[in-house]
Structure 1
Amino acid sequence: MKNDLIVIVDDELEITSSYEILMRREGFKNYALYNDPLKFMEDLPDLNPAVLFLYLRMPGIEGEDILQTVSSEKMNTSIFIVSGTEDVETAVRCIKKGALDYLVKPIDRSRFQTAIMKGLEVYGVKAELDVVKACLTKSSSQQNANFKHIITRNSEMMSLFGYLEAISEGNSSVLITGETGTGKELFAEALHKSSGRKGEFVTVNVSALEENMFNDTLFGHVKGAFTGADKERKGLLATAAGGTIFLDEIGDMAEASQIKLLRVLQNMEFLPIGSDKLYKTTARIIAATNADLEKKVKEGLFRRDLYYRLKVHSVNILPLRERKEDIELLFYHFYEKFMNGDNKESINVPD
């Protein structure tokens, strides 16, 4: 994400220099600064900015005109209009033309960082959706081998393979829903294998973890954090670095644990028990549940903000009764598996 290009166009050198300092402090290295908006327009065909900050009033061409041009190019760029004055009418007009937000100077470090992270997140989702559209046009004969162990010939299930393959290389969280026994973990593991991630695929049933156990299991602890903590323990988020962590039965998670997970999803960082140092996580989060989360949200049993953070991408797996064409396939799959095992007693296969 931090390798995506960030561009700032502002005719004031002092302003762009201050932005540059902020970006360096936050670890962003791929950026471009323009004090001449016309030069930016000249270079635009060779740029593919993930995030673009445009000052509204500039000589030669105004930010609003640049906004309209970039938006018409069907680029996935997240555009922020920056102005020295708060003008609701102009803000509404810019957002209708494609701006993600309208910011008023001066922009402090926290607001600037939040805008960048929001812009990169939106850019990433748009880019993933482009890949989705391309992958969904693939024929079933081009099915990703990582999904071949999931036995089905149901067209809706096959479409899920294409969708999951399309989003596999992204970083956004994924929510998998479906009844018990539909194979949610199989889908999550196939998604991980398709991603090319070099880290581990780590699974944990979060419904079985009360708050303290949840914190220790996911975040780990430092030596001496509590009685009996005689050595440091690495949490599962650290174990899954560069890989995927699969959180099963997310719908039964305690409220306190929901808050902790929300913070991870918002900032992609966690705090081990007893530590005063935050650690970044590079693990992709896939969650699964057999519960109706929308209903739980309405009942106040599941946080709405967490729900939407988890379901950036979401898939629902059909139960077997809704894909009866798979029954025969599954029967012969398990029959063959049985006959190739230790127990080879003859059984009658009905016509």
Structure 2
Amino acid sequence: MLTGSRVLIVDDEANARRVLEVLLRNLGCAVVCAEDAPSALAILREHTVDLLITDLNMPGMSGLELLTTLRAEGHAFPVIVVTAYGTIESAVEAMKQGAFDFIIRPLDVEQVELLVRRALDISRIHRENQFLRDEAGKGWDHFIGQSAAMRRVYELIRQAGPSKASLFVYGETGTGKELVARAAHANSGRQGLFVPINCAAIPSDILESELFGYVRGAFTGAHKDRVGKFELADGGTLFLDEITEMPTNIQAKLLRVLQEGQVDRLGSNRSIQIDIRVVAATNRDPLTAVQQGCLREDLYYRLNVLAIKLPPLRERHEDIPLLCAHFIEKYRSSLNYAGMARLPDDISQALMAYAWPGNVRELENMIERAMVLSQGQSLNLKHFPQETLDLPAQSARNTPAPADQDFDLDANVAKLETRLLTQALQISAGNKAKAARLLKVSERTLWYKLKKYGIG
């Protein structure tokens, strides 16, 4: 069955349209019909299709002229032309102009079915290739680190990969949750796409349509059909980043999709069968999120078949030199800095002593910043933020406190809070909501602290 595939039939004869329509609907296709080429072009301005079947000999604009117009407008879906015995030469000419194949009347049902299946396979491959070009280079090879904590993560990914079971990845912001999801997909053997979506980055009124798709007229502004992320991930993996930010009413619909293996486009009364693996991720503690009402308990247990907790960078500081070498090489190429090869030992030691509230993402940004400031010269202390490479403060953790040390608790807490608040704002580029999530406090608490310490 070809459920979910949309085919446009163009023919000036009603009976001919009807025969093809019945045949394709029996195969599970969604069929749209047009009585002439201009009507077909009007439909394509409002609908997406996976295949077009057109008669060659039509009054006004012929099927060959329609094909030429479609290619000129950039439509890449396959086109099958229908012709009679006496006009095979025209069909051959259409193939030279980019038609996928041709059908001769009277129709051979088996031949039509074979060509339609092949054409829809080509359409699917073209769509997937376009998606994969955008996603190229992302996956297992991007993991850097040989610490014991990361080796445990690698082993869990290898064990979980071949399974179809849902995977729950959690850890602090910047620890690489999407990399884990991509690696699990790469290790799964699934032939479909890896489709990521950030639930926190999309407004709730748009998130539902992004996930489920919609049909034309489902709501104001739905001028043409749209495939949702569930359908796009059919046969592959859907990565739901920041799942705890998804509204609970959409979580209920997600649970139904996972349980029944079917998705309904908004505005449609027809269910589409899908085969997907879901990988969910959050920077919160999942059980705490359940207790706070941010994550439905039934959905949590449905997703949490296999769980991977990513260690923060401060718990695998021995990986920092490897990460630095990787990022230096990455930005040396992009910045065309031929002479820069390694990080000085004193800076490397200071970076290993830093707490890294922003984890690997903060480290990468800091290395890129330092390389830009160095203008291709050797890296030194002045290229890094002073609070990061505050060597006396870092080493003080491992030395006994002198007798005259200031033990004023409130004053020291104020200094620490001021430093953390400043770093969180720097990492989040001034975005208060992101800074609050990084510090694991409410935005109200963040605003109170900023006002208390006079931080702009």
TM (norm. structure 1) is 0.56
Residue 319 of structure 2, aligned match among 301, 320, 326: 326
Q: Equivalents in 2 of 1:314, 1:349: separation in Å? A: 35
Asked if 1:232 is matched to 2:225, the reply is: yes
User: What is the match of residue 174 of structure 1?
Assistant: 167
Q: Equivalents in 2 of 1:349, 1:276: separation in Å? A: 60
**3-state SS of 1:260 partner:** helix
**3-state SS of 1:273 partner:** coil
Question: For the structure 1 residues 246 and 229, does the alpha-carbon distance in structure 2 shift closer, same or farther, using more than 3 Å as the test?
Answer: same
8 A Cα contact 1:154 1:323, kept in partner:
yes
Mapping of residues 100-111 of structure 1, within 5 Å: none
Q: Deviations over 1:55-105 (max 9, x none)?
A: xxxxxxxxxxxxxxxxxxxxxxxxxxxxxxxxxxxxxxxxxxxxxxxxxxx
User: What is the match of residue 344 of structure 2?
Assistant: 350
8 A Cα contact 2:168 2:304, kept in partner:
yes
Q: Deviations over 1:180-219 (max 9, x none)?
A: 1101111111111111211111110112334432221011
Q: Equivalents in 1 of 2:270, 2:312: separation in Å? A: 44
**3-state SS of 1:330 partner:** helix
Question: For the structure 1 residues 335 and 228, does the alpha-carbon distance in structure 2 shift closer, same or farther, using more than 3 Å as the test?
Answer: closer
**3-state SS of 1:152 partner:** coil
Asked if 1:160 is matched to 2:153, the reply is: yes
8 A Cα contact 2:147 2:316, kept in partner:
yes
Q: Equivalents in 1 of 2:227, 2:147: separation in Å? A: 41
Report sequence identity in percent. Answer: 44
User: What is the match of residue 267 of structure 1?
Assistant: 260
Mapping of residues 133-144 of structure 1, within 5 Å: none
Mapping of residues 218-229 of structure 1, within 5 Å: 218-229=211-222
Amino acid at match of 1:255: T
8 A Cα contact 1:147 1:161, kept in partner:
no
How far off its partner does 1:287 sit? 0.7
Bigger Rg, structure 1 or 2: 2
Q: Equivalents in 2 of 1:331, 1:211: separation in Å? A: 38
User: What is the match of residue 28 of structure 1?
Assistant: none
Residue 336 of structure 1, aligned match among 326, 329, 346: 329
User: What is the match of residue 296 of structure 1?
Assistant: 289
Unaligned regions of 5+ residues in structure 1, if any?
Answer: 1-145
Residue 315 of structure 1, aligned match among 270, 286, 308: 308
**3-state SS of 1:207 partner:** coil
Tell me which of the two structures has the higher relative contact order, counting C-alpha pairs closer than 8 angstroms and 6 or more residues apart. Answer: 1
**3-state SS of 2:279 partner:** strand
Which one is further off, 336-345 or 238-247?
Answer: 336-345
8 A Cα contact 1:247 1:286, kept in partner:
yes
Residue 208 of structure 1, aligned match among 197, 201, 206: 201
Q: Equivalents in 2 of 1:164, 1:280: separation in Å? A: 27
Q: Deviations over 1:125-149 (max 9, x none)?
A: xxxxxxxxxxxxxxxxxxxxx6343
TM (norm. structure 2) is 0.43
Question: For the structure 1 residues 257 and 209, does the alpha-carbon distance in structure 2 shift closer, same or farther, using more than 3 Å as the test?
Answer: farther
How far off its partner does 1:346 sit? 4.7
How far off its partner does 1:233 sit? 0.7
Name the structure with the higher helix share.
Answer: 2
Q: Equivalents in 1 of 2:343, 2:151: separation in Å? A: 27
User: What is the match of residue 29 of structure 1?
Assistant: none
8 A Cα contact 2:238 2:279, kept in partner:
yes
Amino acid at match of 1:304: E
**3-state SS of 2:293 partner:** coil
Unaligned regions of 5+ residues in structure 2, if any?
Answer: 1-138, 346-456
